[in-house]
């Protein structure tokens, strides 16, 4: 499996997905490259239908749609749901998202 989904994340996603899944939509995971090598990738989630170049993966009963970059970056990663004093929402851990050092001086 390319990535895992925790119990808490699956429960929250299944609640949100609802009717959209019946319309052929899935949860789109889109990787966005940072401005320089040190910032790595971030991820955006939304609802969409698959395009020809996309990978469609079902994990824990949830249909995920990934563009080629997201599929590469999320390999071996995880999606969790965090609900604490600091934040509430989905947390995506992607070991291949990059982020290293560069000369931008923004550290």
For residue range 12-60, list pLDDT tens digits in order: 999 888 877 777 899 999 888 665 555 556 888 999 999 999 999 999 9
**pLDDT for 101:** 46
Ramachandran bin of 7, using left for φ above 0, alpha for ψ from -120 to 50, beta for the remaining angles = alpha
> How confident is residue 104, by pLDDT bands cut at 50, 70 and 90?
low
Question: What pTM, to 2 d.p., does this model score?
Answer: 0.79
**pLDDT for 52:** 94
- Range 75-81 average pLDDT: 94
Q: Report angle CA 4, 74, 63 to the nearest 5 degrees.
A: 60
Ramachandran bin of 25, using left for φ above 0, alpha for ψ from -120 to 50, beta for the remaining angles = beta
Q: What domains are there in the chain, each with its CATH number?
A: 3-18+26-93 (2.60.300.12)
């Amino acid at each position: 499996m390319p990535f895992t989904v925790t119990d808490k994340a699956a429960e929250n996603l299944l609640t949100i997905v609802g009717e959209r899944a019946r319309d052929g939509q899935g949860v789109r995971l889109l990787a966005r490259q940072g401005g320089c090598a040190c910032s790595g990738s971030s991820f955006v989630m939304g609802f969409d239908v698959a395009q020809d170049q996309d990978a469609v993966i079902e994990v824990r009963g949830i249909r995920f749609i990934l563009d080629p970059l997201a599929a590469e970056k999320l390999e071996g990663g995880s999606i969790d749901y965090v609900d604490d004093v600091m934040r509430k929402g989905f947390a995506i851990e992607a070991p291949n998202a990059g982020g290293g050092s560069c000369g931008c001086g923004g550290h």
